[in-house]
Amino acid sequence: MKNFRLIASLAAVALFVAGFLMVPATMRAADTPDSPEITSLLLDARTQAVDLRRAAEDMETFTRGGEEWQSFAAKLDILKERVNATGKLVAKMKDAEAHGAIWQQTAIRRVEPLLREMAANTDSTIRFLNANKTKVHFPEFRDYVRTNADMAVSLESLVKNFLTYGELKQKLDRLGNKLEIGG
């Protein structure tokens, strides 16, 4: 019986110490305020994502018509420029990531791989077009173009949803502060 109490006491102390060591890190992460710099970059990324979506969807409409390869090449140049500009914003966000709130860090971690995938698909689309200028109305090319449009829509939606979350979080924080002050 004495051994059981000793083991139970040691286990309780171990759990207390483990909890004590984990709480400060958790509280620091939860207390990290929103970074105005990251919020501003996310707002810029939203604008870029809207431009990306429009360029990708414009290009997709070309696949339904009789456009020549030169029209696709011009749209691809615009799309590539927008992907690169958004990539520069994401690089700035990555540099500031450690100073952001948890939701901002999560936004950066979710936006980055989607943008990389879109950049890779844009490069593949360019390579396909360069090698197959007479096949712009074939299903394979249309699939590349459709994928870019889908990813652009997803990117825009992702950034908008995180910004909406940030706005709602700020409102809840303000309401919580009013309750603390008034209550």
- Residue 2 scores a pLDDT above 70: no
The pLDDT tens digits for 38-86 are: 999 999 999 999 999 999 999 999 888 888 999 999 999 999 999 999 9
User: Which pair of structure tokens corresponds to residue 130?
Assistant: 């360069």
Q: Is the pTM of the predicted complex or chain greater than 0.75?
A: yes
Return the pLDDT at 147: 96
Return the pLDDT at 177: 81
DSSP 102-127: HHHHHHHHHHHHHHHHHHHHHHHHHH
What is the CA 117 to chain-centroid distance, rounded? 12
Using DSSP, state whether 5 is helix, strand or coil: helix
Alpha-carbon gap, residue 27 to 36, rounded angstroms: 20
- Residue 173 scores a pLDDT above 60: yes
**Average pLDDT taken over every residue of the chain:** 85
Return the pLDDT at 182: 65
Residue with more model confidence, 22 or 39: 39
The pLDDT tens digits for 85-118 are: 999 999 999 999 999 999 999 999 999 999 999 9
- Residue 131 scores a pLDDT above 50: yes
Surface-to-core class of residue 115, CB atoms within 10 Å of its CB (0-12 exposed, 13-18 middle, 19+ buried) = buried
Surface-to-core class of residue 45, CB atoms within 10 Å of its CB (0-12 exposed, 13-18 middle, 19+ buried) = buried
Q: pLDDT tier at 16 (50, 70, 90 boundaries)? A: very low
Query: Which whole number is the average pLDDT over 114-142?
Result: 94
Return the pLDDT at 179: 77
Counting residues of the chain whose pLDDT is more than 70, the rounded percentage is 82
